[in-house]
Chain A
Amino acid sequence: MESQAFQKIYTKLTNITKATVSLKATGVGYDEMATVHGRLGQVVKIMGDQVVLQVFSGTEGIPTDAEVIFMGRPPQLRVSDQLSGRFFNAYGDPIDGGPQVEGEVRDIGSPSVNPVRRKQPSQLIATGIAGIDLNNSLVSGQKIPFFADPDQPYNQVMASVALRAKADKIILGGMGLTNDDYLFFKHVFENAGALDRIVSFVNTTDNPPVERLLVPDMALTAAEYFAVDKNESVLVLLTDMTLFADALSIVSNRMDQIPSKDSMPGSLYSDLARIYEKAVQFPSGGSITIIAVTTLSGGDITHAIPDNTGYITEGQLFLRRDTEIGKVIVDPFRSLSRLKQLVIGKQTREDHPQVMNAAVRLYADAANARTKLENGFDLTDYDERTLEFAKAYSERLLAIDVNVDTDTMLNISWELFSKHFNKAEVGVKQEFTEKYWVQ
């Protein structure tokens, strides 16, 4: 960290806890950064001349006569085109052996976009995955997480979505990434020849968890540089936001705050919203799209982390293993893209909305039939047909390894409708049945 002229140095700590140190100091600004015994910290409370600093990497071994240097500034990142292709840690320092980035210094965690200056997102992002493009179309400027159990291949799916999305820049914010996953991303981006349009901020499982708290803001400060200054379309990948939220709860517990549900801080909603709401379509053409990962424990989406996330993001993509076909699918029930109606039937074929809903409804009927079966009841002819339909639908459309264009997805849907049902059972507008029903 660069030294600055107005540094004040203190050497007498009055209190030390697991995560924080306190000292007497004056002229200190709220949120200001400092080094404590060579480690980075940030001001979290000021009472008169008592200042409390949160030390990101923990306070182990810090003595009461540790040197504290206030930096007179909040956390910052240097931004320029030199960011491209580089890997950084949570503080924005290079971890790829390359030089420091030269460029303009920006505070991270900058103010929000004025809502009246936003443009309505309108550009479809095609991924080839039907579970996404057919049922939950993505739009640039959207924010959406994958909800997945820790053993599901969410990072792989996210990487392929990122590479197919045709973004000008991809910014990876890795929080609590295993070293293997970190290398996986590096490898996939390298193989795709995409490294020069990728910027990564990575906190791995080897790094102290509290450092993760800086990662989303670092990634989004870089994203805003490319989206605002360069009018680029930027895709930000945040994985795993559950580990980010865990770090929030560590800090708030250590600071003796009253926890609310699932021992998360009461401010969890606002803390997550501040990050996700950085997704935006600017009128000048630049955009920030956020695709995140929220790992679940035991598929429980009522836990405070996925629950608050779902209330903030514009939908969620729920990954689930379909035992029937032995593959991971994008679950059509719990998944949702809230922005899909801005593009489906407009940038895609006119029958898209109705086909999508009809297929999901029939798939729901199959789920009911399956329950009947499990309860030992006879199935009706219709039940049998829904089950056959569901299997084919899952295999040919919902599985995450599907890669076709949207028209093909719609054609496959019609083919399945026509094969398994009559028109009344499908129940879409007559004008579409007349046009697309496969005789």
Chain B
Amino acid sequence: MERKNKTTGKVAGIVANLVIVEVNGPVAQNEICFIVHNDERLMAEVIKVVGVNAYVQVFESTRGLRVGSAVEFQGHMLEVTLGPGILSRNYDGLQNDLDKMEGVFLKRGEYTDPLNRDVKWTFKPLAKAGDSVTAGSWLGEVMENSIPHKIMVPFKMDGRYKVKSVVAEGDYIVDDTIAVVTDEDGTEYPLTMVQKWPVKMAVRSYKEKPRPFKLLETGVRCIDTLNPITEGGTGFIPGPFGTGKTVLQHAISKQAEADIVIIAACGERANEVVEVFTEFPELDDPRTGRKLIERTTIIANTSNMPVAAREASVYTAMSLAEYYRSMGLKVLLMADSTSRWAQALREMSNRLEELPGPDAFPMDLSAVISNFYSRAGFVYLPNGATGSITFIGTVSPAGGNLKEPVTESTRKAARCFYGLSQARADSKRYPAIDPIDSYSKYLEYPEVQENLTKNVGEEWLGNVLKAKDILFRGKEAMEQINILGDDSVPISFHDRYWKSELIDFVILQQDAFDKIDASTSMKRQQYMLSSVLDVADSEFKFHNFEEVSGFFKEVINLYKQMNYSEFESEQFTKHEASLQELLKKRMN
């Protein structure tokens, strides 16, 4: 899209944040432009062209804007700036560094540099003169917090190059030339530690994208045990408001076994982002002992920030994730909520007076969502290293109805479904993931099954399926009891129901606000599941159905005390001993 002369134009019409610009030269779809309004420059993106009129969505409020104002087109699409210093930053949806902005209130037309240009990084070369390289090849590395951050051949560079020179190990700022490469014609390209990438395009500098096969531990039992997600997997969390989407995402971002966590707060509450700003610098990464914030980048485009930038925010986040994946890292990407992004698309589509699809969403919503999810994944890089982007998005279905366009479109794109149930949330059974409706397609992948058997245990898969079966049969038993009445069903129905309650209370329910219960290691999950299944396999003596609930409540209570205790601690063992005693007394 490089052009010699920059195209300019004049504002010809304004409807909210949709502005029509009369242009005097070529423009491209999705090209960025600036509208000059008094001493402010308002950034906008071309979303439609009709004759000499470019329709642009403005990433700012258009208050006071007049017809006739000058517009300058930039010759490129919306881009992220990639280089060391992205971690621990708080960006808005357009990758402006929020901490660099002055004042308490956001100022229209203020754009800040995503990187710190004067920080020196200790660069260690990884490539040498004569090496043959392509886009994404590693030229060297710097330590960003504790993460080895690879400096790569820019993703935009097509074709093969030869390394002419790489600087010696030493301290450099991001704009210093750290390598020179030449193309087939011998043209030289000096490279720095910074590159740019258009956010709407997928980075494709990997060799192969196999199906994900490795478990990604999240510490959340009803995910890891029942419906596991994989490194490079995709999942989504739909649920009515207040059922725990955000709490669950925050829990996963704190606990998951990822190298990098990118959180896109997309059109949701500002205070929820503040919670991350406030807590992550204090919390330890359980694996490295360093602070969580060191591996985290936040993209905050909260609900009161400009709507057009909301759409951009998820793409910005995905591009940053792709950048780190290309370094051979495990990236976890969270977007809360993808429905807000869909709504941003809807607002604009309506303003453009496009033919609406279901619920007035744009016709191509499903394609847009699938396309986005497809950017996640596990990859082999050309140098044999692996990297992954695990993506989990929340969906906020209107009226809590899962038959709405965003949920349905996402269901087609994501492989794990963690449906939050209003009834479970109402009765405080957190996390409110519905154990019957939710699924992980990965459990059906032979390569995942093999991996689980090897890493968690021989009996693991069998146990998981058994637990699911007990939950399912328990639900059926409960329905029968509700239809026929407590004493009109055999006692075995009560037994079956309470065994499913046992799994529900001990394995599924997990207190996200309790220090110990919040996160459970795989080893502990395995131990607890087989312990609970032993109980489920046992036959107990009951004289009447009321004894059943009384007994299981005591069992559950002791298990809960175990969940609240440090694994294998004295307290844990003590509660376990009381539990064994209780069980023995009832055994047949």
User: Is there an interface contact between A364 and B426, defined as CB atoms closer than 8 Å?
Assistant: yes
Are A338 and B242 also in contact (CB < 8 A) when A115-B270, A258-B350, A378-B485 are? yes
How many residues of A are counted as interface, with CB atoms below 8 angstroms from the partner's CB atoms? 81
Q: Are A28 and B66 in contact (CB under 8 A)?
A: yes
Contacts of A269 in B (CB 8 A): 267, 303, 340, 343
**Known contacts being A360-B428, A380-B546, is A423 close to B557, with CB within 8 Å?**
yes
Question: Contacts of B13 on A, CB cut-off 8 Å?
Answer: 45-48
User: Would you give the 0/1 interface string for B251-278, flagging 1 where the beta carbon is closer than 8 Å to chain A?
Assistant: 0000000000000000101110111011
Question: A269 — nearest CB in chain B belongs to which residue?
Answer: B343
Map CB proximity to B onto A282-307 as digits: 1 under 8 Å, 0 otherwise: 10000000000000000000111001
Complex contacts, A316 vs chain B, CB 8 Å: 242
Q: A266-B360, A310-B242 are in contact. Are A46 and B67 (CB under 8 A)?
A: yes
A114 at the interface (CB under 8 A from B): yes
Contact across chains for B304 and A258 when beta carbons are under 8 A apart? no
- Give the residues in chain B near A29, CB-CB below 8 Å: 63-66
Of chain A, the residue at the smallest CB distance from B554 is A424
For window 387-433 of chain B, which residues contact chain A by CB distance below 8 Å?
396, 398-401, 426-428
Picked from B15, B242, B400, the residue with its CB within 8 Å of the CB of A45 is B15
Report the nearest B residue to A426, measured CB to CB.
B557
Of B104-112, B174-182, B201-209, B216-224, the stretch lying at the interface with chain A is B104-112
B327 within 8 A of A: no
Q: Is A156 among interface residues, defined by CB-CB distance under 8 A?
A: no
A31 touches B304 (CB 8 A): no
Complex Cα gap A43–B498 (Å): 64
User: Are A277 and B65 closer than 8 Å at their CB atoms?
Assistant: no
Known: A260-B360, A274-B304, A312-B269. A111 touches B90 (CB 8 A): no
Contact call B15/A429, Cβ cutoff below 8 A: no
Q: Is B99 close to A, CB under 8 A? A: yes
Chain A nearest CB from B423 CB (Å) reads 9
Contact call A114/B340, Cβ cutoff below 8 A: no
Residue A270 is within 8 A (CB to CB) of chain B in the complex: yes
**Which residues of chain B are near A312, meaning CB under 8 Å?**
269, 303
A116 CA to B67 CA in the complex, in Å? 34
Q: Does A261 contact B (CB under 8 A)?
A: yes
On whether the beta carbons of B275 and A120 are closer than 8 Å, the reply is yes
Binary per-residue interface labels of chain A (13-38) against chain B in the complex, 1 for a CB within 8 Å, 0 otherwise:
00000000000001111111000000
A361 CB to nearest chain B CB (Å): 6
- Is there a chain B Cβ closer than 8 Å to A96's Cβ? no
B269, closest chain A residue (CB): A314
Query: Residue among B277, B399, B560 with the most chain A CB within 10 A?
Result: B399
Q: A195 to B204, alpha carbons, bound, how many Å?
A: 65
Nearest-CB residue, chain B, relative to A72? B64
In chain A between 345 and 374, which residues have their CB closer than 8 angstroms to a CB of chain B? 353, 357, 360-361, 364, 371-372
- CB contact between B108 and one of A111, A115, A364, A371 (< 8 Å): that residue: A111
Interface check A184, CB cutoff 8 A = no
- Complex CA distance for A116 and B270, rounded to whole angstroms: 9
A339: chain B residues at CB < 8 Å are 271
Q: How far is the CA of A424 from the CA of B98 in the complex (A)?
A: 50
| Chain B positions within 8 Å of A364 at CB level | 426-428
Known: A27-B66, A258-B356, A273-B304. A304 touches B549 (CB 8 A): no
B residues near A187, Cβ cutoff 8 Å: none
Question: Is residue B129 contacting chain A, with contact meaning CB distance below 8 A?
Answer: no
Tell me if A258 and B564 are in contact (CB < 8 A). no
User: When chains A and B are docked, how far (Å) is the Cα of A297 from the Cα of B38?
Assistant: 47
Q: Does A267 contact B (CB under 8 A)?
A: yes
Determine the residue in chain B with the shortest Cβ distance to A25. Answer: B67
- The verdict on A257 contacting chain B, using a C-beta distance below 8 Å, is yes
| CA of A345 to CA of B426, assembled, Å | 21
User: Is A173 close to B, CB under 8 A?
Assistant: no
The residue on A at minimum CB distance from B265 is A115
Tell me the number of A-to-B contacts counted with CB atoms below 8 Å: 198
B343 engages A266 (CB within 8 Å): yes
- Contact residues, B337-362 vs A (CB, 8 A): 340, 343, 346-347, 350, 356, 359-360
CB distance from A334 to the nearest CB of B (A): 7
Contact between chains at A315 and B242 (CB < 8 Å): yes
**In residues 538-579 of chain B, which contact A (Cβ within 8 Å)?**
545-546, 549-550, 553-554, 556-557, 560-561, 564
CB-CB under 8 A from A120, the residues of chain B are 271, 274-275, 277-278
Q: Which residue of A lies closest to B302 (CB)?
A: A115
- The answer to whether residues A110 and B105 also contact, given A47-B12, A261-B398, A424-B557 and a CB cut-off of 8 A, is yes
Q: Report yes or no: B347 in contact with A266, Cβ–Cβ below 8 A.
A: yes
Kindly report which residue of chain B lies nearest to residue A312, judged by CB atoms.
Answer: B303
Q: Does B155 sit at the interface, judged by CB under 8 A?
A: no
Q: How far is the CB of B397 from chain A (nearest CB, A)?
A: 9
Contact, CB under 8 Å: B104 / A30: no
- Which residue of the partner chain A has the closest CB to B551? A424
The listed residue with most B CB atoms (<10 A of its CB), out of A30, A45, A49, A269, is A30
Interface pair B428/A47, CB less than 8 Å apart? no
Assess A112 versus B305: contact at CB under 8 Å? Given A266-B346, A266-B347, A302-B401.
yes
The answer to whether A115 and B401 have CB atoms under 8 Å apart is no
Chain B residues near A257: list those with CB within 8 A.
350
Q: Which residues of A contact B356 (CB under 8 A)?
A: 258
Q: Is the CB of B242 within 8 A of A377?
A: no
B245 and chain A: residue at smallest CB distance: A311
A74 at the interface (CB under 8 A from B): yes
B487 at the A/B interface (Cβ < 8 Å)?
yes
Given contacts A112-B304, A261-B398, A266-B350, contact A429 B561 (CB under 8 A): yes
Instruction: Indicate if the CB atoms of A361 and B398 lie closer than 8 Å.
Output: no
Say which residue of A44, A115, A371 sits within 8 Å of B300 (CB atoms): A115
A116, B304: Cβ atoms under 8 Å?
no
Interface residues as binary, B303-331 with A (CB distance below 8 Å gives 1, 0 otherwise): 11101000000000000000000000000
Rounded to whole angstroms, the CA-CA distance of A273 and B303 in the bound complex is 6
Cβ of A427 under 8 Å from chain B = yes
List residues of B (367-388) whose CB comes within 8 Å of A's CBs.
none
Whole-angstrom CA separation of A287 from B356 in the bound complex: 41
**CA A302 – CA B103 in complex, angstroms?**
39
Q: A46-B14, A266-B346, A382-B546 are in contact. Are A277 and B304 (CB under 8 A)?
A: yes
Q: Are A47 and B20 in contact (CB under 8 A)?
A: yes
Taking the complex as formed, is B465 at the interface, i.e. its CB lies under 8 A from any CB of chain A? no
Interface of chain A residues 183 through 211 with chain B (CB within 8 A): none
What residues of A have a CB within 8 angstroms of the CB of B482 in the complex? 371-372, 375
Tell which of A280, A380, A425, A429 touches B564, judged by Cβ atoms closer than 8 Å: A429
Query: For residue A115, which residues in chain B have a CB less than 8 angstroms away from its CB?
Result: 90, 98, 270, 273-274, 277, 300, 302
Q: Any chain A CB within 8 A of the CB of B61? A: yes
A92-141 interface (Cβ within 8 A of B): 107, 109-121, 141
**A-B CB contact pairs (8 Å), 30 listed:** A30-B62, A30-B64, A31-B62, A45-B14, A46-B13, A48-B67, A110-B105, A111-B106, A114-B98, A114-B104, A114-B106, A115-B273, A116-B90, A118-B270, A120-B271, A260-B346, A267-B307, A278-B304, A302-B400, A302-B401, A304-B399, A307-B399, A307-B400, A377-B486, A378-B487, A380-B546, A382-B549, A423-B557, A425-B553, A427-B553
Binding site for B on A (CB under 8 A): 26-32, 44-49, 74, 107, 109-121, 141-142, 228, 257-261, 266-267, 269-270, 273-274, 277-278, 280, 282, 302-304, 307, 310-312, 314-316, 333-334, 336, 338-339, 341, 353, 357, 360-361, 364, 371-372, 375, 377-378, 380-382, 423-425, 427, 429-430
Of all A-B residue pairs in the complex, the 7 with the closest CB atoms, nearest first, are: A273-B303, A277-B304, A302-B399, A310-B241, A29-B64, A377-B485, A47-B13
- Which residues of B come within 8 Å of A, CB atoms? 12-15, 20, 61-67, 90, 98-99, 101, 103-108, 240-242, 267, 269-271, 273-275, 277-278, 300, 302-305, 307, 340, 343, 346-347, 350, 356, 359-360, 396, 398-401, 426-428, 482, 485-487, 513, 545-546, 549-550, 553-554, 556-557, 560-561, 564
14 additional contacts, CB 8 Å, given A118-B274, A120-B274, A424-B557? A46-B66, A114-B103, A115-B300, A116-B90, A269-B340, A304-B399, A307-B399, A334-B426, A336-B242, A338-B242, A360-B427, A361-B427, A377-B485, A378-B485
